[in-house]
């Protein structure tokens, strides 16, 4: 029953077969590479911790999507905002939140980023303007109207990055959000992480017209499609969109990528073939970036090994922190529910 997945034709933004031309400092490039490696490692370890029952609930990883994650989030400035969805471990890490607080959240502990209340789908870091992961498909999208509006209202030079899956684009909330973002010329960049599937459903089974970036026009936005396995291509597309956003033109970016694992830990992903997965793994975003960098003499094997070791250490330390952190106090069950609730009434 499984349909052959058509690979969408990409704009020629891929740097794979071009001589890489980097205008960035080596330091910056290493930092991007490190962040991608850190996310990969974090997800690997998280998955393992899940199988060891240290983590529960739904658990969706960014395996395979690291270029899209890092390419869209790392260019942001401190004042910029992010509104994300449940597949967001990598998003908050790319934003700079210490993985130990993220891991503590996955472990459901008091010093997790949501104090153990949120878990995998509901990571949050206000200090980094990371406004959370949300679990209702497309439900996060209308929030971005308000965040973008708020920047304009307060007269601040802030951009909002709205992240969503491609499956979410069939939902009505996506339409209302994008129409209003376009209508009000809000400084919002919507990135559709098109990993080709929403659970077991291909984009060809969920969208009458699967070329999602083309919807930009209908929403009064600039539309672009980018090879989401190429971090530098994503980054450039994002930087262009940021320039436009600051001038009051929102963008809709469709990043073509792939999730290596099932939809969540619970999904064996039998709806797709091993060959399909393998063909995507062959253009692994981390390996590909490594090849680009090393072709341009911007990274050595030793440097890479050092990075790998350092992220391994960091993630192990995160696990240690999480595992030794305290559980929330059950007497605090009603904490955070209301601000200043009135006394003596039934809430």
Partner 1 sequence: MPVITMREALHDALREEMIRDQNVFLLGEEIGRFGGSYKVTEGLIDEFGPERVLSTPIAESGIMGMATGAAMTGLRPVAEIMTINFIMVGMDQLVNNAAKIPYMFGGEARTPLVVRTPSGAAHQLTAQHSQSLEVWFAYVPGMYVVAPSTPADAKGLLKSSIRNDNPILFVENLVMYNEKGEVPEGDHVVPIGKADIKREGGDLSIITYSRMVHMALEAADVLAEEGISVEVVDLRSLRPLDVETMIASVKKTNRALVLHEGWYKYGAGAEVAAQIQEHAFDYLDHPVVRISGQEVPMPYSTVLERAAQPRMEDVVERARFMLGRK
Ligand X SMILES: Cc1ncc(C[n+]2csc(CCOP(=O)(O)OP(=O)(O)O)c2C)c(N)n1
Binding residue (CB under 8 A) for a second copy from 183, 281, 324, 327: 183
Q: Are strands 197-198 and 188-194 parallel, antiparallel or unpaired?
A: unpaired
43 binds ligand X (CB under 6 A): no
Min separation Cβ 100 and partner 1, Å = 16
Min separation Cβ 266 and ligand X, Å = 11
Where does this chain touch partner 1 (CB under 8 A) — which range of 4-12, 29-37, 40-48, 107-115? 107-115
Q: Are strands 197-198 and 201-202 parallel, antiparallel or unpaired?
A: antiparallel
Decide if 188 contacts 162 (C-beta within 8 A).
Answer: yes
219 binds a second copy (CB under 8 A): yes
165 binds Mg ion (CB under 5 A): yes
Supply the Cα-derived Rg of the chain in whole angstroms.
20
Distance CA(324)–CA(100), nearest Å, equals 11
How many residues sit close enough to partner 1 to count as binding (CB under 8 A)? 83
Decide if 189 contacts 163 (C-beta within 8 A).
Answer: no
Please choose which of a second copy, ligand X, Mg ion, none residue 87 contacts, taking the beta carbon within 5 to 8 angstroms, the exact cut-off set by kind: ligand X
Binding residue (CB under 8 A) for a second copy from 150, 179, 249, 314: 179
115 binds partner 1 (CB under 8 A): yes
Query: Between residue 250 and residue 279, which ones bind ligand X under the rule CB under 6 A?
Result: 263
Distance CA(147)–CA(347), nearest Å, equals 29
Distance CA(209)–CA(196), nearest Å, equals 13
Decide if 92 contacts 43 (C-beta within 8 A).
Answer: no
Please choose which of Mg ion, partner 1, a second copy, none residue 209 contacts, taking the beta carbon within 5 to 8 angstroms, the exact cut-off set by kind: a second copy
143 binds a second copy (CB under 8 A): no
Min separation Cβ 94 and partner 1, Å = 19
Binding residue (CB under 5 A) for Mg ion from 195, 225, 251, 257: 195
Binding residue (CB under 8 A) for a second copy from 176, 267, 276, 303: 176
Decide if 55 contacts 49 (C-beta within 8 A).
Answer: yes
Find how far residue 80's CA is from the centre of its chain.
15
> In this structure, how many other beta carbons lie within 10 angstroms of the beta carbon of residue 25?
10
Please choose which of Mg ion, partner 1, a second copy, none residue 334 contacts, taking the beta carbon within 5 to 8 angstroms, the exact cut-off set by kind: partner 1
Closest CB to ligand X among 188 and 311? 188
Q: Are strands 222-227 and 160-165 parallel, antiparallel or unpaired?
A: unpaired
Binding residue (CB under 6 A) for ligand X from 116, 133, 167, 285: 167
206 binds partner 1 (CB under 8 A): yes
Side by side, the strands of the sheet bearing 160-165 are 81-83, 160-165, 188-194, 251-256, 222-227
- Please, what sign has the CA dihedral across residues 198, 204, 209, 210? positive
Which residues of the shown chain bind ligand X in the complex (CB under 6 A)?
60, 87, 135-137, 165-168, 193, 195, 197-199, 263
* Binding residues for a second copy (CB under 8 A): 170-176, 178-183, 205-209, 214-215, 217-221
């Amino acid at each position: 029953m499984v349909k052959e997945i058509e690979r969408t034709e990409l704009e020629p933004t891929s740097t794979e077969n071009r001589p890489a031309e980097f205008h960035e400092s080596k330091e910056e490039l290493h930092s991007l590479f490190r962040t991608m490696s850190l996310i990969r490692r974090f997800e690997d370890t998280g998955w393992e911790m899940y199988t060891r029952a240290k983590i529960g609930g739904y658990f969706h990883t960014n395996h395979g999507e690291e270029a899209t994650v890092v390419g869209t989030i790392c260019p942001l400035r401190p004042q910029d905002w992010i509104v994300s969805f449940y597949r967001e471990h990598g998003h908050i890490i790319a934003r700079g939140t210490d993985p130990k607080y993220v891991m503590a959240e996955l472990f459901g502990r008091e010093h997790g980023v949501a104090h153990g209340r949120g878990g995998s789908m509901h990571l949050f870091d206000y200090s980094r303007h990371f406004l959370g992961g949300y679990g209702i498909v497309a439900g996060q999208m209308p929030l971005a109207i308000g965040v973008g509006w708020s920047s304009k209202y307060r007269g601040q030079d802030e951009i909002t990055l709205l992240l969503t899956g491609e499956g979410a684009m069939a939902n009505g909330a996506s339409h209302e959000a994008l129409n209003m973002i376009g209508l009000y010329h809000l400084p919002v960049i919507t990135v559709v992480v098109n990993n080709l599937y929403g659970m077991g459903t291909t984009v060809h089974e969920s969208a009458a017209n699967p070329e999602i970036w083309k919807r930009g026009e209908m929403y009064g936005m600039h539309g672009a499609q980018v090879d989401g396995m190429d971090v530098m291509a994503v980054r450039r597309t994002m930087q262009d969109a940021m320039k436009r956003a600051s001038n009051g033109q929102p963008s809709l970016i469709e990043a073509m990528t792939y999730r290596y694992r099932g939809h969540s830990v619970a999904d064996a992903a039998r709806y797709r073939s091993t060959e399909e997965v393998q063909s995507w793994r062959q253009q692994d975003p981390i390996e590909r970036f490594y090849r680009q960098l090393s072709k341009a003499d911007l990274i050595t094997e030793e440097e890479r090994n050092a990075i790998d070791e350092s992220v391994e250490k960091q993630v192990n330390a995160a696990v240690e922190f999480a595992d030794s952190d305290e559980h929330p106090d059950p007497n605090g069950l009603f904490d955070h529910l209301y601000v200043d609730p009135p006394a003596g009434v039934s809430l």
